[in-house]
Structure 1
Amino acid sequence: MASEVRVEEGPFGPEVRPGGPVEQTVLYLHGDPRLAGTPQDALPTARELARSTGYAVLCARYRPRFPQALQDVYDAWEHCRARGGAVAVAGKRLGGALAAGLLLRLRDEGAPPPTCAVLVSPLLDFTLDAPSLLLNAAADRTMDAQSLPARAAAYAGPTPRATPLLSPLHGNLHGLPPIQLHAAGTEVLLDDALSFATRAAHSGVAVDLRVYEDASALGLRQTGATAEYLTSRCRSGNLSLHPG
């Protein structure tokens, strides 16, 4: 495990790098309750992941509109792939939507997939029909459910809300790499994670779903579980690539 890390500014956003050799890169896509924010908001999580795994973590910069945001994420992915080595993808809230959209785009293009993906409290359905948006509105203090429709509309623009690359829950999920999902039982986006996990599992995708009792428990335990998942998937990926 790496103990010391450094932050370098690159063409696609800040990157946290461990001191030793790097086995894998994690493309991390930030997301805050306002569906806004900057890559710098993700740096505390990126530092913890880099220390725990020994992997480089690129906090990608992306524009606040679809489909430009997905194109920015795709370009950052290509940058990570061009450097060589294994690459995983992770994202939170809107970043989770972009991470899942990237998986669908790569699958549709026949491109090599990430070793795995991690989606944290992801917004995966821009139709905003999930029951948890209403049922958990009073309990979720991490996101304002009343302002979510306006923010989602500003991001989606004229794109039809059920477009799979925007709303991955509405896409064909066959052929995706292993996915870990994290959600709190009290959050408004709970049903997005539950529904996506169910549909992905029915499509033959290896799914690791973690539901925590509340946002506090998610905050305490999610990053450690993500680091463990990334390292285990990197090892299994290397074994499959080098069976001897």
Structure 2
Amino acid sequence: MQVETSRTGLVVRPPDPAGMAVLYLHGDPSFSGEPEQALEAAERLSLRTSATVVCARYRPVFPSALVDVQTAYHYGQAMGGPVAVAGEGAGAGLAAALLIRLRDAGSTLPSCTTLVSPLLDLSLQAPSLLFNASANPEFDLTELRTRVTRYTADRDLTDPFVSPLHGNLHGLSPVQLLTAGTDPLLDDALAFAARAAHSSVSVDLRVHPDAATLRTETIPAMAAFIRTHTHADHIARPA
């Protein structure tokens, strides 16, 4: 396993590459845009898929963050093979916004996208934010509201590039959503899955019983989905 620093972030290269790339957008709740915390997950994903994983570094403000992840996506495209996108938390929201931006621009969409515990509506009105908050001691809704205000400034929170749950989802490539019944962001995942399916997007929705199970199953489920939709003929080793 080789880790490099590029102009777009960290790049994880597997020992036996399969000729495809994954853009991985970490789920930092502070919107810090630093990819180092995603490195362990990226390495495990790279081993399971034999993909080169690009962990994007992005600025913690809108729209700069979206510009940065699109640049990282094109960096992955330049590698010459199919590209998948994966994101967690705030990174999943950026991943979904990236899909809409690419489609609107007429650009090539990723082969598939996985959204894990996705933050897709920055108006933060979903009931699960309150109902499930006690299940996650690390979740602080008040702090999240503060971070969102800093990230969005005076932007309209229903702008689909800010809150992709409010966007037109027609024409997107296959999407996988991974969440838990106790996830404060459960409602974002369920609503996005319903709207995407209604828009004739292929959706793989998986709701795990709790956060511990979600953490255990995320990389295997993500890797299987990516291998299926990138048509990789390389059988990767489990991590």
Q: Which residue of 2 aligns with 1:115?
A: 111
| Residue type of the alignment partner of 1:8 | E
Q: 1:90 aligns with which of 86, 89, 97?
A: 86
Q: Aligned partners of 1:101, 1:116: CA distance in 2, in Å?
A: 14
Q: Which residue of 2 aligns with 1:163?
A: 159
| Residue type of the alignment partner of 2:161 | L
Q: Aligned partners of 2:137, 2:215: CA distance in 1, in Å?
A: 13
Note if 1:31 corresponds to 2:27: yes
Q: Which residue of 2 aligns with 1:61?
A: 57
Q: 1:44 aligns with which of 22, 40, 54?
A: 40
SS of the residue corresponding to residue 62 of structure 2 reads coil
| Residue type of the alignment partner of 1:146 | T
TM-score if structure 2 supplies the norm length? Answer: 0.94
Q: Which residue of 1 aligns with 2:13?
A: 17
Residues 179-190 of structure 1 mapped to structure 2, 5 A cutoff: 179-190=175-186
Residues 191-230 of structure 1 mapped to structure 2, 5 A cutoff: 191-230=187-226
Shift of the alpha carbon at 1:90? 0.7
| Residue type of the alignment partner of 2:60 | P
Q: 1:141 aligns with which of 137, 141, 164?
A: 137
Q: Which residue of 2 aligns with 1:242?
A: none
SS of the residue corresponding to residue 111 of structure 1 reads coil
Q: Are the aligned partners of 2:17 and 2:52 in contact in 1 as well (CA < 8 Å)?
A: no
* Number of equivalenced pairs: 233
In structure 2, relative to structure 1, the CA distance for the partners of 1:207 and 1:142 (3 Å cut) is farther
Shift of the alpha carbon at 1:79? 1.4
SS of the residue corresponding to residue 146 of structure 1 reads helix
TM-score if structure 1 supplies the norm length? Answer: 0.92
Q: Aligned partners of 1:198, 1:222: CA distance in 2, in Å?
A: 21
Q: 1:175 aligns with which of 171, 195, 203?
A: 171
SS of the residue corresponding to residue 138 of structure 1 reads helix
Q: Are the aligned partners of 1:12 and 1:76 in contact in 2 as well (CA < 8 Å)?
A: yes
CA displacement, residues 143-199 of structure 1 (integer Å, 9 cap, x when unaligned): 212211111111111111100011000000000000001111112111000000000
| Residue type of the alignment partner of 2:35 | P
SS of the residue corresponding to residue 52 of structure 1 reads helix
SS of the residue corresponding to residue 125 of structure 2 reads coil
Q: Which residue of 1 aligns with 2:95?
A: 99
Note if 1:71 corresponds to 2:97: no
Listed as ranges, the gaps of 5+ residues in structure 1 are 238-244
Q: Which residue of 2 aligns with 1:130?
A: 126
Q: 1:80 aligns with which of 76, 86, 93?
A: 76
Shift of the alpha carbon at 1:236? 7.8
Shift of the alpha carbon at 1:37? 5.4
Shift of the alpha carbon at 1:14? 0.8
The CA RMSD over aligned residues, in Å, is 1.4
| Residue type of the alignment partner of 2:36 | Q
Q: Aligned partners of 2:214, 2:138: CA distance in 1, in Å?
A: 12
Q: Aligned partners of 2:232, 2:83: CA distance in 1, in Å?
A: 13
| Residue type of the alignment partner of 2:160 | P
Q: Which residue of 2 aligns with 1:8?
A: 4
